[in-house]
Structures are given as C-alpha cells and as structure tokens.
Amino acid sequence: MPDPELAAKTVAHLNSPAFAALGLPFSEIVRVGETLYLSGQMGNLPGTLTLAPGGIKAEAQQALQNIKSTLEAHGYSMAQIVKCTVMLADMNDWATFNSIYTAFFTPPYPARSAFGSSGLALGGRLEIEVIAVTHR
C-alpha cells in the first residue's frame, strides 16, 4: 500500500490565485515528482471564460500565452515543456495554428500530437494541454 505521507510530498496541486478565483473543478497544474501536467488551455482572456475575439489566430495566441503565464506564475518556463497535445475544432486550421505555435517555441521542439475534435469547451477553436518537467 502506498505511503500517504510520501504521496503528499511527491504530488502537488498548483493553482494561482487568478485561476482559483474562476472556481473551475480541476487543478491548473499537478506536479508529480519532477513532471508537470497542465490542464488544457483554451484561448480565453485571462481571468475570464471569454474567448479572445478573432478566431483561430487569436485563440491560438491566447492559449499559448495562457500556458506561458501559467508556467511562469509557478516559476517555470516554456522551455520546460516536453509534450503538447493540440485539439482543433477544424483540422483545416492546422497551418494557421503552426504559424502561431512556432513563435512560442524554438528547436528542438517538444513532442506533439494534434487531432480534430468537436464540441470543445466554450465553443473554442482549440485546446492545448502540455506536460513539462521541473528541470531541463
């Protein structure tokens, strides 16, 4: 049986005050040992559930900025991301998304998966979740 005291030391739920104020039923980041699991980010304006106006470009820019801000609020950076999973409401937005994505990362890029999805939260055009490490 796992030691609950050890688990408490190796698993942490990280929530900034701005995120906690939204009252959402999930954690902003869950840290397990040296791995960070970020909840999916939409293109919503900071501190709100309102999507950035302007379609896929604006939402992609805002979602990636939200990821960057979330990491930085807890003392981490985009350079620590090792895996991205991208859900697009329309796979025809792939090239547009890539043009925004590459402005946030430099080679070598994180591993990445992308797939088409329907019915994303808030009626969004995309959602991005990432896995990062505490040391890189």
pLDDT (tens place) for every residue of the chain, 136 residues total: 556 565 556 898 888 777 777 777 788 889 999 999 999 999 999 888 899 999 999 999 999 999 999 999 999 999 999 999 999 999 999 999 999 999 999 999 999 999 999 889 999 999 999 999 998 6
Close Cβ partners of 117 (under 8 Å, ≥ 6 residues apart): 87, 88, 89, 127
Say whether 43 sits in a helix, a strand or coil: coil
Phi and psi of 135, rounded to 5°? -130, 140
Over the range 105-125, which residues count as b (16 or more CB within 10 Å of their CB) and which as e?
eeeeeeeeebeeeeebeeebb
Cα separations (Å) of 74 from 15, 50, 96?
8, 23, 29
Domains assigned to the chain: 4-133 (3.30.1330.40)
Q: Return the amino acid letter for 133.
A: V
State if pTM tops 0.85.
yes
